[in-house]
Amino acid sequence: MDLTGLTARAVFDFISAGVLVSGLFFMVVGALGVVRLPDAYHRIHAASICVTLGLTAMLVAACFHIQAAPIIMKSFITIVFIFVATPMGSHMLAKAAHDTRLPQWGKTLSDELAEDKRLHGWGPPLVDTVSFDPAEADQSAA
């Protein structure tokens, strides 16, 4: 094989193409999971994990292709932010859905958060347990 023209730029572009393929794979699998999985909790899992990995791989591919300092710095900041923010956001979403008693898939084996809430009385009060009495409101206003 003739390797005379194989410079660093060509090698970096090939690496960038490979990393980009893996990132696109994760993005498409995440979207497929968002559409096809049976339950909101399963869908949150698919969206957060696959999108985090896919976006990180795509940013790394951009760093390999455009070897400029501002791009590498912005990619680094974005990767750190995504790795902190995306699991936190999906965790908040899942916890809020569980607090509103969103039903699970029928074949899910256990719901340990509900058991903990039942045992320890833990968790925020539900909105629909608070009854609103108009007569009481009139008394407090007067």
Partner 1 sequence: MNRVPLVPPIARAPAALTAALSAALPAAPAFAAAPSTEAQPAATPATPLTDWELAAEHTLFIVVDAGIVLLSIAFVMCLWRVLRGPTLADRGLGTDTLAMQVVGLAILLTIRMRTLMFFDAVLIISILGFASTVAFAQFIGRRRAA
Residue 124 corresponds to which tokens in the numbers above? 């925020």
Asked if 56 is part of the footprint of partner 1 (rule: CB under 8 A), the reply reads no
Asked if 85 is part of the footprint of partner 1 (rule: CB under 8 A), the reply reads yes
Exposed e or buried b per residue across 40-61, where buried means at least 16 C-beta atoms within 10 angstroms of its C-beta: bbbbbbbbbbbbbbbbbbbbbb
21, 118, 136, 137: residue in contact with partner 1 (rule CB under 8 A):
21
Which residues have CB under 8 Å from 95's CB, separation 6+?
none
Instruction: Tell me if residue 30 falls in helix, strand or coil.
Output: helix
Residue 131 corresponds to which tokens in the numbers above? 């009854």
Binding to partner 1 (CB under 8 A): which residues in 102-141? 102-103, 124, 126-128
Asked if 49 is part of the footprint of partner 1 (rule: CB under 8 A), the reply reads no
Task: Centre a 10 Å sphere on the Cβ of residue 39 and count the other Cβ atoms it contains.
Answer: 15
How many chain residues touch partner 1 (CB under 8 A)?
68
Question: To which residue do tokens 């607090």 refer?
Answer: 99
List contacts with partner 1 (CB under 8 A). 3-7, 9-14, 16-17, 20-21, 23-24, 27-28, 30-32, 34-35, 40, 43-44, 47-48, 51, 54-55, 58-59, 61-62, 65-68, 70-71, 74-75, 77-78, 81-82, 85-86, 88-90, 92-97, 99-103, 124, 126-128
